[in-house]
Structure 1
């Protein structure tokens, strides 16, 4: 159970927009995506297959259980995608615990220094073989 000073993770855009700190987190996520030129806004036409989107919210806690930050993540509704139309392969940007243990072991054996860092915003900068169209986040659309 979260302590009273930690806001609950919102399950819809309306409740997130009503909370100033969640709204600031959403704006920060979109600002990072704009800054990194993640997309280009184009007019929607009938012939485009557009993938839906949503914002996912998570309270990030410090090891002692206190609030570290509120994180809003802009994601595609992948379950609307069709194999061969929207994608031909999948990618999971998650590091598995076995990989972390292996890297730490190699660093210890080679006597390399180990540092931890917190990555605030991550996304893949890859070349796409064809255009992919995705809706803007609900409640945060740029006209």
Structure 2
């Protein structure tokens, strides 16, 4: 046997060589499904809630019997915990405890269709004592339509805005 074997080489076609008659045919443009008349409607999936409206519960115990409201309460609780809304502390003996209550509503899209079940945990204002449990209350929420109305009124009356 020869100790020096010849290396195996693969011959590549020369780029300057003429194309042969057995070359592959030119590729044509692809044809889409819509060009063939095949149309599929776009389906939107909502995996969080069911599409049906559950009736508004009268109390939190009846809300726990319905899975839609139970999920809504869980979402609200998780959001409150994530935002650090409160911290659990031992109850001092001489402090007024403000009760909380659940508010259940149906949220809808702008066109009036049902979107989801919404639960909110709020403090009961009837058990609060002004000056002891709470000070001044203020809600800094202004709707954009109010701002546009005030600005258009000031513009039409040539009022100064500051």
TM over 0.5: yes
Correspondence 1:78-89 to 2 at 5 A: 78-89=125-136
3-state SS in 2 of match to 1:26: helix
**Could you tell me whether the CA contact under 8 Å between 1:8 and 1:59 is conserved in 2?**
no
Query: Normalising to structure 1: TM-score of the pair?
Result: 0.61
Instruction: State how many pairs are aligned.
Output: 102
Deviation at 1:57, TM superposition (A): 0.6
Name the residue aligned to 2:120: 73
Higher fraction of strand: 1
* Structure 1 residues 93 and 6: alpha-carbon distance in aligned structure 2, compared to 1, 3 A threshold: farther
Unaligned ranges ≥5, structure 1 = 106-143
Query: Normalising to structure 2: TM-score of the pair?
Result: 0.55
Question: Does 56-65 or 66-75 show the bigger shift?
Answer: 56-65
Name the residue aligned to 1:19: 66
Matched, 1:49 2:91: no
Name the residue aligned to 2:75: 28
Q: Which has the higher contact order (CA 8 A, sep 6+)?
A: 1
3-state SS in 1 of match to 2:117: strand
Name the residue aligned to 2:138: 91
- Structure number with greater Rg is 2
